Amino acid sequence: MRSDTIKLGDARAPHRSLLRACGIHENDFHKPFIAVVSSHVDVIPGHVHLNDAAQFVKKCVSEAGGVPFIFNTIGVCDGIAMGHSGMKYSLASREIIADSVETMLQAHQFDGMICLPNCDKVTPGMLMAAVRCNIPSVFVSGGPMEAGRTADGKPLDLISVFSQSAAKINGKLSAEELLETERHACPTCGSCSGMFTANSMNCLCEAIGIALPGNGTVLATSAYRKILYKKAAKQIVRMVSEFNAPQSKTKVLPREIITQESVDNAMILDLAMGGSTNTVLHLLAVAAEAGLDYSMRRFNELSEKTPNICKVSPSCGYHIEDVHNSGGIYTILGEIRRGCPGLLNENVPTVSGKKLGKVIDEYDLRSPKVLGEARKMYAVTPGGNRTAKGMSVKQMVTKTADLKLPFDPADCIRPCGKAYSPTGGLAILYGNFAPKGAVVKTAGVLPEMLKHSGPAVIFDSEPEAYIGITSGKVKAGDVVIVRFEGPKGGPGMQEMLGPTAAIKGVKLDDSVALITDGRFSGGTAGACIGHVSPEAAAGGPIGKLRDGDIIEIDIPNRTLNVKLSEEELQNRQIPPHESPVKTGYLAKYKALATSADTGGVLKW
């Protein structure tokens, strides 16, 4: 075992002495050492309950025959960091997380790890570390938050608060109405309840094969999470044992799981369910760590073949809990398999020890081979009470047939013949000021905004844009341009949830588009185009745009242009833009960051 490096032989007596001080017993030195990588942080709803989860996983690993060691990563709550300088640290935290997990795994020579992520940068950061270190790994998230409810039962989530906050600033909402939404939108622990980046990434882990069924959709509050944690603990000990058995043919490592084919599967899922545009950024970064040659153009190739069969908040009124009760991720994949035969790569390995196609058979709720265990899992429902304690709601329903849902599951997850659109929920646009591409969540764009032409209103920072929109500087028909907010320019590639929520709050979302070299929250919907590459700070032509330039958006034809001759655009100069960041981590990040078309990874 890898861990023999620190625990066997006379030369390792000092190491064993230190391990004994940590509570390790004599009979533990011949067992596999398993890292339980938690992202418990008290200031993030998606992570506040993970200390209990990590302790439970630790107990389960011990029972399965391993020796567990918990360590934690940092985490940034994008919602709390939103709209101020703290958001510059959000994407940048992904690299710290990857580096810190790598550091712990290599310094202490763990044999395998269970990752307990939940929020936006934590899941991809841990994935990057997993493929970098390439030891047996299982991901099991903390689970999604329950959706909020108004007194009359109307569903709410974090985006409701952002939109109504902008409406209140604009004088379109009373203080009492805003307070009512604020109090009810985020009722429990867990990652925010829509198909935002955290939930998108946790769902994609199922399609990629690095997580067990239910990882992305079983609620954080549900006691069923304990079953997932127990399964993950047994599986990681089994994987490590098989990896170290000389005659074993089952040696599933992250680089065998995360391949060109499995990244394609993850992208197909993302396109089918209209996930966050941030997943493009993170999948590119994970693929780069795995040594894969994966470009943004691949997303368009897959989008042409993948129908958008599921929409979740912010693109519609459904939430993750509704997707779960409709059959979860494997039912979405099952519908894709039925409607688009051959599109998915079903022969890829997963951490369950089974090929993806077999897992779809067993966990697609509409499959004739679906397991009774899967039916019970998809019957997990919200508790409906405010709580910050995970795994606290006991399941009362024993099978999905007994559920009385207030919606049609066949509408929440549609068959391909009744898709929202014949192409995927994400698209990559190219044009004269986005020569290396830009990303849009087509699933969240109103039909009348799929093609749009209008004058540019330029802002050189996210806070400046928010003020400009809420103060009335932006009019119907305009195209808001927010630049110098890319990975290098921000630095840190701030999310534009404030400006996009402001556009919705002032009732301009059906007539105004927003384009940026920054990125968007998974909670963003509307004609919002991000990741423009190269970014302005790297000399990209988005930096040459001026107020009044006519911007032409054609999402169906995947184009994004400014109505200028090539010569005129070439001759323009990018205005000087001095970043206030001179010291600290962000200064180092700025020096190494690349544009979004490469995943915003660091290069040195």
3-class DSSP state of 116: strand
Cβ 381 vs Cβ 394: under 8 Å:
no
Q: Which residues contact 166 (CB under 8 A, 6 or more apart)?
A: 469, 470, 498, 501, 502, 504, 505, 506
Question: b vs e for 75-89, b when ≥16 Cβ sit within 10 Å of the residue's Cβ?
Answer: bbbbbebbbeeebbb
Which ranges in 197-253 belong to alpha helices (H)? 197-208, 225-244
- Residue 338 backbone dihedrals phi, psi, to 5 degrees: -70, -40
What's the N-to-C CA distance of the chain in angstroms? 33
Q: Retrieve residue 6's tokens.
A: 């620190």
Cβ 57 vs Cβ 229: under 8 Å:
yes
Catalytic, out of 191, 521, 533, 595: 521
For residues 569 and 105, give the distance between their C-alpha atoms in angstroms, rounded to a whole number. 49
For residues 179 and 594, give the distance between their C-alpha atoms in angstroms, rounded to a whole number. 41
Closest CA to 290 of 161, 129, 156, 425: 129
Q: What single-letter amino acid sits at 504? A: K
Distance of CA 109 to the CA centre of its chain: 28
Identify whether 521 is a catalytic site residue: yes
Q: Retrieve residue 458's tokens.
A: 């330029």
Q: Which residues contact 137 (CB under 8 A, 6 or more apart)?
A: 112, 113, 114, 115, 130, 210, 236, 253, 254, 351
SS3 assignment for 164-201: HHHHHHCCCCCHHHHHHHHHHCCCECCECCCCCHHHHH
For residues 4 and 69, give the distance between their C-alpha atoms in angstroms, rounded to a whole number. 15
Residues with active-site annotation: 521
